[in-house]
A = this chain, B = another copy of it.
Amino acid sequence: MSQRTEIASLGEFGLIEHLTKNIDIKNSSTLLGVGDDGAVIDHFGRQTVVSSDLLIEGIHFDLSYTPLKHLGYKSVIVNLSDIYAMNAVPTQILLNIGFSNRFSLEALDEFYTGVYAACEAYNVDLIGGDTSTSQKGFIISVTAIGEAAPDSFVKRSGAQVNDLICVSGELGSAFLGLTLLEREKRIFEETGAQPDLEGQSHIVGRLLKPEARKDIVEYFSEAGIIPTSMIDISDGLSSDLLHICKASQTGCVLYEDKFPFNEEAKAFAYKLEIDPTACALSGGEDYELLFTVSQDEYEKIKTNPSISIIGYISPENEGKHLITRAGNKHELIAQGWNHGKK
């Protein structure tokens, strides 16, 4: 332990790769391990998908503008979203919480009201977990369990050249909600002025009370679609699409003019002089599904109004690119895109 390497030098994904690179799978029931939205376990043909996340006050959420009920709801949703991103249906969750003595029983009740509301809305059972005190702040760990029909789970690694790149819902709104709330918090701290969220309930709701795309996975099942790859958008379209490209060893081409935006969100972005495309690419927390399908599925995909086709998968050696509205070609990077490249 004489050496000291700062963890920041690896980045989050580099760290996970480093810590898990020597894993040697011992149980034949382990079908898929570390490195996707969820892991997959075989249970005599039927397949179980599991995912777990840690949410820490001051890192993942700010209680100065996050109602505890919404936080409870969102804590469940972000995990269910990972299960849906595996093309599976969530069935159970386990919830561990740690809290300092500034939290009252009434505060925990608020939080659990949100947790149970999410369980109710998504037909999921809370089956266990742990409560503990913490030295500082509120700590939440949720593990979600789901089911997939035999070999119908979808990894990040199956995208094929010429597959369509599709996304559910809208992009960038949660980031705009965060920007608004952070701005109002700053104004309140500096001037004491009450927050002005007038007319911005959509973007605020997208951040504080997101939903998971149960409907999309149900549509896949009804329409007989199995995406070739899928991920949920938690870190922004760029970063998450690059995960798919890396795992699938492909390139990609995105069309800015195909990005789905909410009109209210777009208007707010222009008001703040922020580019909505930047919000979509780098914002994160959208919890929409990003997936690829074979071109054969085009007819089925285009009939679903909640799905937008935003690009296609290209060979790895052609790189990863965004074609802007003006027709310019930019290299896609995890933080968004590289300007100036033709």
Contact = CB atoms under 8 A, between A and B. Distances in A.
A54 B7 contact: no
A60 interface: yes
A99 B10 CA distance: 15
Contacts of A126: 20, 23, 33-34
A125 B25 contact: yes
A1 interface: yes
A176 to B, nearest CB: 24
Contacts of A97: 54
A135 B55 CA distance: 11
**For the complex, would chain A's binding face be called helix, strand, loop or mixed by DSSP majority?**
mixed
Interface stretch (A39-47, A158-166, A200-208): A39-47
A87 to B, nearest CB: 16
A11 to B, nearest CB: 11
Contacts of A22: 116
B46 A44 contact: yes
Contact of A96 (B33, B54, B91): B54
Contact of A7 (B25, B50, B104, B137): B104
Nearest to A128: B39
B106 A34 contact: no
Nearest to A19: B112
B131 A16 contact: yes
A145 interface: yes
Contacts of A96: 52-54, 141
Contacts of A116: 22-23
23 contacts: A4-B106, A5-B104, A6-B104, A7-B101, A15-B105, A15-B131, A18-B105, A19-B131, A23-B125, A23-B126, A29-B92, A29-B147, A33-B125, A33-B126, A41-B92, A41-B145, A43-B48, A50-B127, A52-B129, A52-B143, A54-B139, A56-B133, A135-B136
Interface of A: 1, 3-10, 12, 15-16, 18-20, 22-23, 25-27, 29-30, 32-34, 38-39, 41, 43-46, 48, 50-54, 56-60, 91-92, 94-99, 101, 103-110, 112, 116, 119, 123-137, 139, 141, 143, 145, 147
